[in-house]
Amino acid sequence: MNFKYPEWHHLHKKTDNTLLSSAADKSGLPPGSLIHIGEKHETVSRISVIRYNDQVITECEVESIAELQQLQHDERITWVNIDGLSNTRIIEDIGELLDIHPLILEDILSTHQRPKLEEYEDYIYLVVKSIDANVHNYLELQYEQISILLLEKFVITFKEKADDTFKPVQYRLRNRKDRLRYNGSDYLTYALLDTIVDEYFVIEEHLDEIIDPLEDSLLSDPDQKTLHTIQHLRRELISMKRSISPLRELLSTIQHANTGLVHEKTLRYYGDVYDHVLRVIDSLDSYRERIAVIQDVYLSSISNKMNETIKVLTIFAAIFIPLTFIAGIYGMNFEYMPELKWRWAYPALWVLFIGIGVGSIIYFRKKKWL
């Protein structure tokens, strides 16, 4: 689809008219405009097709959506996976082939959607967020929007990039004895959702690997790097909560949807995914509380270290204040100061200085200030 902005639009001179980075860039354009909004990936759009039943499975790649037209009357379950959203023509062709609403096609290309479910007469549209973790010295999360169209005999998935997110499902489909081969498209959709949600538990393990040592080192050696790690984890947890929490509503809706696309025997499996999501959300809340406590402990540790430093400086000041006072008196240039004429005045003054210092230290230790 070769979309051109009108002259009055602030992006009418943009060279790539099918890719925007922000939803704000679409302001003023008509609903249903098929423009990819989100991060640009190097993935070239690829269409892979898996057709299966309990007896046979076939896998292939097609060049265009037109090749899928002959599969509409196939009795086998067909899973079409599209990697890469840069080619908006593919999305448009799917909409024409399966009579998908233009607003759904627009949402597929807008990768800043929150997880949601929309129910139509002949299909159900789902949006979920896949999360991948890069763990180096800190946790870096990468998000990918995955859109799923559930039809009676078709399941179509739209991914931003080519990765191994659905590799476990493909592996299971190749096993003739697996339950996937004996159930319909609704069960395949469940398996896809379950695979995405299972990855959240992997993120939790990474969080434990970071937070546990962070708590151990907090009291011994808190530093500026510790604070940066705490703030980074807080931002990541907030982002995760924003991406995962809507799944609770999504799965609750699909369990109570009045549609023939999801069979009653499959609803129990969706309930299992719902329980997993609740566990993840509870864990995220727990992690956020731990991070808040860690931050409070960090601030307390820094405050205690500062107090210890100030206490030592105060003690030194308290010792030297009387000494400075005495030195200040005898440093005055008055002629008639009898002590200045005494032979043992200078040694006596040093004895006084040392006595005051030692006496102050003994007093501070007795008061347990040292």
- Number of residues assigned to the chain: 370
344 and 228 co-located in one domain: no
Give 135's contacts (C-beta < 8 A, 6+ positions apart).
206, 209, 210
Q: What is the CATH number of the domain that holds 44?
A: 3.30.460.20
Report how far residue 225's alpha carbon sits from residue 242's, in angstroms, rounded to the nearest whole number: 26
Domain carrying residue 318: 305-366
pLDDT for 278 = 94
Measured CA distances, 232 to 201, 225, 226, 235, 287 (Å): 19, 11, 10, 5, 13
Report how far residue 288's alpha carbon sits from residue 293's, in angstroms, rounded to the nearest whole number: 9
279 and 324 co-located in one domain: no
Which of these three, 300, 315, 330, is where a domain ends?
300
Report how far residue 82's alpha carbon sits from residue 92's, in angstroms, rounded to the nearest whole number: 13
Q: Is 5 within the bounds of a domain?
A: no
Which of these three, 274, 300, 326, is where a domain ends?
300
221 and 96 co-located in one domain: yes
219 and 323 co-located in one domain: no
Report how far residue 34's alpha carbon sits from residue 38's, in angstroms, rounded to the nearest whole number: 13
Measured CA distances, 71 to 48, 74, 173, 208, 270 (Å): 13, 5, 19, 47, 28
Q: Is 338 within the bounds of a domain?
A: yes
Considering only CA atoms, give the Rg of the chain.
34
Helix axes 264-330, 185-218, angle to 10 degrees: 20
By the 10 Å C-beta count (0-12 exposed, 13-18 middle, 19+ buried), 273 is classed as buried
Q: Is 4 within the bounds of a domain?
A: no
CB 109 within 8 A of CB 20: no
Number of domains in the chain: 2
293 and 309 co-located in one domain: no
Q: Is 48 within the bounds of a domain?
A: yes
Which of these three, 250, 267, 300, is where a domain ends?
300
Q: What is the CATH number of the domain that holds 342?
A: 1.20.58.340
pLDDT tens across the length of the chain (370 residues)? 455 555 555 555 555 555 555 555 555 566 656 677 767 666 678 899 999 998 899 998 888 888 888 777 778 899 999 998 888 888 888 888 888 998 999 889 888 888 999 998 889 999 999 998 877 667 788 899 999 999 988 999 999 888 888 999 999 999 989 999 999 999 999 999 999 999 999 998 888 888 888 877 776 677 778 888 888 888 999 999 999 999 999 999 898 888 888 998 999 999 999 999 999 999 999 999 989 888 888 888 788 888 888 888 888 888 888 888 888 887 777 777 777 778 887 888 888 888 888 888 888 788 777 7
Q: Is 9 within the bounds of a domain?
A: no
Q: Is 14 within the bounds of a domain?
A: no
139 and 262 co-located in one domain: yes
The alpha carbon of residue 93 and the mean position of all alpha carbons in its chain are separated, in whole angstroms, by 33
179 and 254 co-located in one domain: yes
166 and 241 co-located in one domain: yes
Q: Is 137 within the bounds of a domain?
A: yes
**CA-CA-CA-CA torsion sign (361, 364, 366, 370):** negative
Residue 157: DSSP 8-state: E
268 and 333 co-located in one domain: no
146 and 51 co-located in one domain: yes
pTM for the model stands at 0.78
268 and 332 co-located in one domain: no
Closest Cα partner for 190 from 155, 160, 165? Answer: 155
Q: Is 220 within the bounds of a domain?
A: yes
294 and 362 co-located in one domain: no
Question: Token pair 């307390």 is at which residue?
Answer: 300
Closest Cα partner for 240 from 294, 186, 277, 187? Answer: 277
Question: Token pair 């609903």 is at which residue?
Answer: 31
